[in-house]
């Protein structure tokens, strides 16, 4: 199937081409982010392979459908960037990668937590400058602390298991109970109790209308003073302005984020030679107790290999009229 691959970085091109060798789809690699102004680049293609910051809202989907695109597959598990209702109305089939190494994200979340808690990135920058002082680098033991996990699905439960290994008490909040979470000794509580009792809060639920801004001024007011917040899930879960206020007041001891609500115009590109006009992210990165990474939690050899393989398999399944199972979004 002729497929427009949007937001295609070098690694996408190499690994998708490798996964495609046994399938023979015609892949058109486009570095551009998919949005209303670039949708036209999919002309002549029956399918589109998109990424997390591509715009798959109603307007773009309509343009794609007009161009003859019939299938959209996203190189991610999350599909909050896709207007599913609009896709259905337009008769577009949409698929995702339902499953890939959840270890990639869970392990990265632990790394981010320790990077901000023990100020590892800061210490590394100091030693490069020949500064071996310890002032300003003190952290806390995680052993004995309470860790709140919001979203106890595949990634959340792995994160919880690692934190249980550190000797932490684990609290969870989810709309569904996961027996694996109970089995590792986690205790489900209401979200308000989780905020009040947790020394660390880590977000692992999808971005939906119910979860948008679940971390906001009200929930942060309930948070245990000195709490560290980790977000490797989706930027829209956190009201960034409220998080900045909580950092200023000291309510948050630290913030570690791999995702940011306005990341679409920033992440996955080198902007180091340009003026970044987003004052919020600039403010965030100026805090000594904040660490920001550019949506890289999934970026391991294992996870990427699975994402590329499944993306190609999705194309083949659609072309053959096969059942996409839990990979089917619309």
Instruction: Indicate the residue among 234 and 251 with the shorter CB distance to ligand NAD.
Output: 234
Strands (E), 136-239: 146-150, 169-173, 187-188, 200-203, 227-231
Q: How many residues bind to ligand NAD according to rule CB under 6 A?
A: 31
Residue of minimal Cβ distance to ligand NAD: 153
Considering only 57, 139, 206, 305, the residue that binds ligand NAD (CB under 6 A) is: 206
- Contacts of ligand NAD in 51-90 (CB under 6 A): 77-78
Paired with 171 in beta bridges are 148, 187
Q: How far is CA 147 from CA 143, 206, 219, 293, 310, in A?
A: 10, 19, 16, 21, 33
Considering only 97, 257, 259, 307, the residue that binds ligand NAD (CB under 6 A) is: 259
Instruction: Indicate the residue among 3 and 211 with the shorter CB distance to ligand NAD.
Output: 211
What gap in Å lies between CA 42 and CA 307, rounded to an integer? Answer: 21
Q: Is there a contact between 113 and 253 (Cβ–Cβ < 8 Å)?
A: no
Q: Is there a contact between 109 and 230 (Cβ–Cβ < 8 Å)?
A: yes
Active site amino acids: 234, 263, 295
Minimum CB separation of residue 181 from ligand NAD in Å reads: 9
Residue 305 near ligand NAD by CB under 6 A:
no
What gap in Å lies between CA 48 and CA 26, rounded to an integer? Answer: 11
Instruction: Indicate the residue among 143 and 176 with the shorter CB distance to ligand NAD.
Output: 176
Residue 325 near ligand NAD by CB under 6 A:
no
Cα atoms found within 13 Å of the Cα of residue 160, Cβ hemisphere only: 29
H/E element holding 159? helix 154-165
Considering only 21, 22, 134, 210, the residue that binds ligand NAD (CB under 6 A) is: 210
Considering only 232, 240, 311, 314, the residue that binds ligand NAD (CB under 6 A) is: 232
- Binding window for ligand NAD (CB under 6 A); candidates: 26-34, 53-61, 82-90, 172-180: 172-180
Number of H-type helices and E-type strands within the chain: 12, 12
Residue 293 near ligand NAD by CB under 6 A:
no
Helix residue ranges, H only, 255-300: 279-286
Considering only 25, 119, 154, 224, the residue that binds ligand NAD (CB under 6 A) is: 154
Considering only 199, 258, 261, 263, the residue that binds ligand NAD (CB under 6 A) is: 258
Q: Is there a contact between 74 and 82 (Cβ–Cβ < 8 Å)?
A: yes
Binding site for ligand NAD (CB under 6 A): 77-78, 102, 105, 150-156, 173-176, 178, 204-208, 210-211, 232-234, 258-259, 295, 297-298
């Amino acid at each position: 199937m002729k497929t427009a691959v949007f937001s295609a970085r070098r690694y996408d091109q190499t690994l998708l081409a490798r996964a495609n060798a046994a399938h023979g789809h015609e892949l058109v690699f486009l570095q551009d982010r998919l949005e209303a102004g670039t949708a036209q680049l999919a002309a002549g293609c029956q399918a589109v392979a998109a990424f997390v910051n591509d715009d798959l809202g109603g307007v773009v989907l309509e343009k794609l459908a007009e161009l003859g695109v019939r299938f959209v597959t996203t190189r991610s598990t999350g599909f909050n960037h896709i207007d599913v209702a609009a896709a259905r109305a337009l008769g577009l089939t949409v698929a995702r990668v339902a499953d890939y190494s959840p270890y990639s994200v869970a392990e990265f979340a632990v790394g981010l937590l320790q990077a901000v808690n023990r100020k590892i990135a800061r210490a590394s920058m100091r030693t490069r400058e020949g500064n071996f002082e310890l002032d300003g680098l003190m952290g806390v033991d995680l052993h004995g602390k309470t860790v709140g996990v919001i979203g106890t699905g595949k990634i959340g439960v792995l994160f919880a298991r690692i934190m249980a290994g550190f000797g932490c008490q684990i609290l969870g909040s989810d709309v569904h109970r996961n027996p694996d979470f109970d089995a590792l000794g986690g205790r489900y509580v209401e979200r308000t109790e989780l905020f009040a009792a947790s020394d660390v809060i880590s977000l692992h639920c999808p971005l939906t209308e119910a979860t948008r801004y679940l971390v906001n001024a009200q929930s942060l007011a309930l948070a245990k003073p000195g709490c560290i917040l980790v977000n490797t899930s989706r930027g829209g879960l956190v009201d960034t302005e409220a998080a900045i206020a909580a950092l200023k007041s000291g309510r948050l001891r630290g913030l570690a984020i791999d995702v940011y609500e306005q990341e679409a115009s920033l992440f996955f590109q080198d902007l180091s030679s340009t003026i970044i006009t987003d004052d919020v992210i600039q403010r965030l990165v100026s805090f000594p107790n904040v660490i920001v990474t550019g949506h890289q939690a999934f970026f391991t050899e294992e996870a990427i290999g699975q994402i590329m393989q499944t993306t190609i398999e999705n194309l083949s399944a659609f072309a053959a009229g096969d059942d996409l199972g839990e990979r089917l979004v619309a």
